[in-house]
A and B are shown apart, each in its own frame.
Chain A
Amino acid sequence: AQSVAQPEDQVNVAEGNPLTVKCTYSVSGNPYLFWYVQYPNRGLQFLLKYITGDNLVKGSYGFEAEFNKSQTSFHLKKPSALVSDSALYFCAVRDLGAGSYQLTFGKGTKLSVIP
């Protein structure tokens, strides 16, 4: 079975500071990993994905994520937070190695960037 954990319900960071939103996953095979962002009353927007290759993945709006196989983590990062980054962030995984078609999401982390 595949699963995702986002250990923090909320992350607060001051504008201009670096931010990290944590995600760990569990799969039996090779993971296909995503980050999505959701603004209030909107659908989910794709930020970035990891399939294979370079462990540091760059995505939209200056976000990046680091894949760490030994720690089974895929943390989302940004060097300098903006107030407009305040939103709900979801990590998701699909177990490619197990031939899964299901995309499983974490519970989400609310990011608040304080001016």
Chain B
Amino acid sequence: NAGVTQTPKFRVLKTGQSMTLLCAQDMNHEYMYWYRQDPGMGLRLIHYSVGEGTTAKGEVPDGYNVSRLKKQNFLLGLESAAPSQTSVYFCASGGQSLHGYTFGSGTRLTVV
């Protein structure tokens, strides 16, 4: 099925560990986004990309890095995990045709 796939779905990290979340889309979308969802905070934009090889900071970029080496993939990295990064992370993609944005099913990350 076409859509946005996020891996892994769940992860528990120790403080200071690093990890990479992968987002893959097969809709040939130009735009890709990483959000975090926290209770009472809604969805906050971490980083986004408007095309292969481009990235930009969103509202809450500190402690995260991203890369978009291939159009279909958007990677989110945590360099040194902190408990404040415990959250549910969502990836989304969208095309220039403005038909809408498609979301992945999320990654639930716990940092202990």
Contact = CB atoms under 8 A, between A and B. Distances in A.
Contact of B58 (A32, A90, A102): A102
Interface string A67-93: 000000000000000000000001000
Say which size band chain B's interface belongs to.
20 to 34
Contacts of A102: 45, 48, 58
Contacts of A104: 45
B103 A43 contact: yes
A45 B56 CA distance: 25
Interface in A1-58: 6, 9, 32, 34, 36, 42-46, 49, 51
B90 interface: yes
B73 interface: no
A107 B101 contact: no
A101 B42 contact: no
B106 A43 contact: yes
Interface in B19-71: 31, 33, 35, 40-45, 48, 50, 56, 58
Most buried by A among B43, B101, B102: B43
Contacts of B104: 43
A90 B98 contact: no
Contacts of B105: 42-43
A32 B94 CA distance: 13
Nearest to B102: A46
B92 interface: yes
A43 B43 CA distance: 11
A105 B33 CA distance: 12
B42 A105 contact: yes
A49 B98 CA distance: 9
28 contacts: A6-B42, A9-B40, A32-B98, A34-B101, A36-B103, A42-B106, A43-B90, A43-B105, A44-B43, A44-B90, A44-B92, A44-B103, A45-B103, A46-B101, A46-B102, A49-B100, A90-B42, A90-B43, A101-B56, A102-B58, A103-B33, A103-B92, A105-B35, A105-B42, A105-B43, A107-B40, A107-B41, A108-B43
